[in-house]
Amino acid sequence: MKISIILPFLNAEPWLRECLESIQQQSFTDWEALLINDHSTDGSEAIVRTFADHDPRFVLLRNPGRGLVAANAYGLSMSTGQLISRMDADDIMPPHKIQALAQALLHEGPGYIATGYVRFFPDENTGMGTRFYQDWLNARCDANDHWDWIWRECVIPSPCWMAWKSDLLAVNAFDAPIYPDDYELAFRFFHAGLKVLPVREVLHHWRQHASRMSRKHGGFSAEAFTELKWEWFKRRFAATEAPLYILGHGKKARFLATVLNKENYSFFRIKDWNKVSRHFTDIPVKYNPNSIVISTLSSIDNYDLVYEQLDKSDWTMHKDILRWC
């Protein structure tokens, strides 16, 4: 069973050698690493050539388009493996990563996507929000409840998954230059009904540095995330005619309201609750089995009492209440 690893790179010279060495040291050996140069201007390609000259499993390609999505799409089109994985040029694989993900998929067959724990490093570059995301992602593997939380944040870490090539082709992976690209792909998996196979051990070391694409690309702004969620919301709930409620008072709630107003989409805002006690003075909406509450309340702040009150009024978390933060 051959595995194709798709690895785009753009000016990754400071980290690329360590990344490729971690791939070369994998316990599973039947792989090809498709290394797609996305118009680098540093010494990245020379490093790749050094590896490719000594190990034919490393394949140097050049992105015929531009950008990460185009590079991923080209890598997929050139892949010869039945299983596909992704890797970022600045990260590190533990030696058993490919084998652990492949074993999970081979046991179940198509229709699944495998993922595992991630660890951000180095500590000095990893802020509180990033640590929160790391722990939250790993908690999804513990609970195996990824799709319950799809509306909050990307539940499938972009460089730590493996899927059958046939499933990727079926969901038309990487066919549109939409960012955040990893979140867009996760929505495709979710919408297609793929099940998640969690491997409960650290399978990816995710390097944090100031040049990471997610820190400097406009496609990873809070507004871009909200717009992407809204596009997928319309696909999932196109037939919903019952009221839509937005729970929240902050910037994200206001931006979502702006997006909905532009499309003349009918909705109600829920703001009548005490921010100090986290209690409603009265539940402001009546339960309707077809209605949906989009919550933009902060992920880090404790709003459990708000959700408990809604739950007592027959609303159900992850079904009628979608947490977008």
* Total residue length of the chain: 325
Domain ranges in the chain are 3-219, 221-323
Residues sharing a CB contact under 8 Å with residue 282, sequence separation 6 or more, in sequence order: 272
CA angle 89, 228, 182 (to 5 degrees): 20
Q: What's the CATH code, domain 3-219?
A: 3.90.550.10
pTM of the model: 0.94
- At residue 201 the predicted structure's pLDDT band, cuts being 50, 70 and 90, is very high
Lowest mean pLDDT among 222-226, 289-293, 304-308: 304-308
The more confidently predicted of residues 325 and 281 is 325
Q: Which fold has domain 221-323?
A: Cobalt-precorrin-4 Transmethylase; domain 1 (3.40.1010)
Of 221, 296, 289, 233, the C-alpha closest to 265 is: 233
Lowest mean pLDDT among 15-19, 167-171, 175-179, 277-281: 277-281
